[in-house]
């Protein structure tokens, strides 16, 4: 079952069981909802911006191990980052989980802990689970009123 181990890495399992920053931010400056109609995953992302900088980011919702861990690790990664940095990270993350970055070492991806999702690219049906929270974050930053969707 080694290939399943590539997907369900210890760090992912840990964050899915004990998601970090799993709460609402009462005085959030931005928030958005995301929904994956295929598997029923739902996530709400809360942001507290300070100009260009993400001061606080959290989430709530229900979903599979991949989407929950992805949301949890997103919040850990983006705290204190600028919008431009967040975009760059999302771009790198998207390439990682869709397999575009295959063969590139974890250091080069500059994704830090997020590199743990590299196994997702071998599971095409799970890419949407990993990216749902990122699409939702983008909606929050753009101020979209419609829920973000992976469809």
Partner 1 sequence: MSIAHPTVVNRPAARAFDLHRVRQDFPILTQLVHGKPLVYLDNSATTQKPLAVTESLERYYTTDNSNIHRGVHLLSQRATQAYEDARGIVRRFLNAANDREIVFVRGTTEAINLVAHSFGRGHVQAGDEVVLTHMEHHSNIVPWQFLCEEKGARLRVAPIDERGELIFDEFEKLLSPRTRMVAVTHVSNALGTINPVKRIIDAAHARGIPVLIDGAQAVAHLKVDVRALDCDFYAFSGHKIYGPTGIGALYGKERLLEEMPPYQGGGDMIKSVSFEKTIYNDLPHKFEAGTPHISGAIALGAALDYLTGVGLENAAAHEHDLLEYATESVSAIPGLRLIGTARQKASVLSFLVDGVHPHDVGTILDRQGIAVRTGHVCAQPVMDRYGIPAITRASFALYNTREEVDALVAGIRKAKEILG
The Cα–Cα gap between 6 and 35 comes to 26
- With tokens 């992976």, the residue in question is 150
The Cα–Cα gap between 120 and 138 comes to 21
> Please, which of residues 40-59 interact with partner 1 by CB under 8 A?
40-42
Q: Which residue in the set 18, 23, 24, 38 belongs to the binding site for partner 1 (CB under 8 A)?
A: 38
Q: How far is the CB of 78 from partner 1 (least distance, A)?
A: 24
The Cα–Cα gap between 83 and 87 comes to 6
The Cα–Cα gap between 84 and 39 comes to 31
Q: How far apart are the first and last CA of the chain?
A: 30
Q: Residues for the chain: how many in total?
A: 151
Q: Which residue in the set 21, 58, 60, 63 belongs to the binding site for partner 1 (CB under 8 A)?
A: 63
Which is closer to partner 1, CB of 130 or CB of 140?
130
- With tokens 């949301």, the residue in question is 71
Q: How far is the CB of 123 from partner 1 (least distance, A)?
A: 6
Which is closer to partner 1, CB of 28 or CB of 39?
39
Residues 98-127 as x/- pattern, contact with partner 1 by CB under 8 A = -------------------------x-xx-
Q: Interface residues with partner 1 (CB under 8 A)?
A: 1, 3-4, 7-8, 13, 16-17, 38-42, 62-66, 123, 125-126, 129
């Amino acid at each position: 079952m080694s290939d399943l181990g590539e997907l369900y890495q210890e760090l992912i399992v840990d964050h899915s069981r004990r998601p970090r920053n799993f709460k609402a931010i009462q005085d959030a400056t931005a928030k958005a909802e995301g929904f994956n109609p295929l598997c029923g995953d739902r996530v709400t992302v809360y942001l507290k911006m300070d100009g260009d900088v993400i001061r606080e980011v959290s989430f709530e919702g229900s979903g599979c191990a991949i989407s929950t861990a992805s949301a949890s690790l997103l919040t850990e990664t983006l705290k204190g980052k600028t919008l431009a940095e967040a975009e760059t990270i999302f771009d790198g993350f998207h390439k990682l989980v869709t397999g575009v970055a295959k063969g590139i070492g974890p250091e080069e991806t500059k994704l830090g802990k997020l590199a743990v999702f590299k196994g997702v690219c071998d599971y095409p049906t799970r890419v949407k689970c990993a990216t749902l929270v990122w699409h939702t974050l983008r909606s929050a930053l753009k101020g979209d009123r419609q829920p973000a969707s992976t469809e």
